Amino acid sequence: MDGISDMGGTEGWGPVTAPTRDEPPFAEPWEGRAFALTLLTMGRVSGRNLDAFRHALERLDRADYLDDGYYGRWLNAAELMLTDSAILAPGAIDARARTITGEAVEEPPVPEPRKPDYAPTAAGSLRTVAEAPAFAVGDTVRARSTPSEGHTKLPRYVRGHTGVVEVVQPAHLLPDTHAHFQGENPQYVYSVRFDSHELWGESAEDFALTVELYESYLEPAS
């Protein structure tokens, strides 16, 4: 799906700031706690996986994704995963927060949990597939232009555009199905080089951009 997180190639976000030298991992103590809570939520509590977490991030609205900052959006995604698995009822976090401030708010009843019945076939994200790669280094390929109704790692700004395969990566779990617990469906991943003028027209700065794309995202350009 084309969520708020698919920001590549869009304008209006202001200048990119350089990282602060010797910047600590977490600017505030709550950010470290948010990091830990999200990791616990992702696997042990909600039964979700990394791709389901990314899908939760892309389903956040603009305010929940941008206004609360980086680890704020992690917490918002963790809450969404917990409601997806019915560990929490929708609105439960808001009710608890209002109760802490002294309001008399009744928390929604806890629903019947529906954690995914999921277990990976092996550790990590890399897998071995029997088929040979569909594309080779030097092939000219086109990124498919069909949008996805669910999770995808195919950026909008490369869809329908042609590039050249630079590297063939090992097979990796396909996020499009893995996020929805529809199978691991491992595929080769290709490092594809796109010319800036191909992506953004003749007025674009002259540079090349490399994007990692799954095999099903690509088709022969000829």
pLDDT of residue 1: 63
> How many helices and strands, by DSSP H and E, does the chain display?
7, 5
Contact yes or no for 189/215 (Cβ under 8 A):
yes
- H/E run at residue 199: helix 196-200
Structural domains in the chain? Answer: 1-114 (1.10.472.20), 140-220 (2.30.30.50)
Q: Please compute, for residue 35, the number of CA atoms within 13 A of its CA located in the half-sphere on the CB side.
A: 9
pLDDT reading at 12 higher than 90: no
pLDDT in tens, 120-173: 999 999 999 999 999 999 999 999 998 778 999 999 999 999 999 999 999 999
Tokens coding 36: 């830990």
pLDDT in tens, 92-134: 989 988 999 999 888 899 888 889 988 899 999 999 999 999 9
Tell me the three state secondary structure of residue 217: helix
pLDDT reading at 178 higher than 80: yes
Query: Would you give the distance in Å from CA 102 to the centre of its chain?
Result: 37
pLDDT of residue 9: 76
pLDDT band at residue 5 under the 50/70/90 scheme: confident
pLDDT, greater one: 16 or 180: 180
- What's the CA angle centered on 178, arms 131 and 153, to 5 degrees? 85
Tokens coding 91: 């609105």
- What's the CA angle centered on 138, arms 135 and 140, to 5 degrees? 70
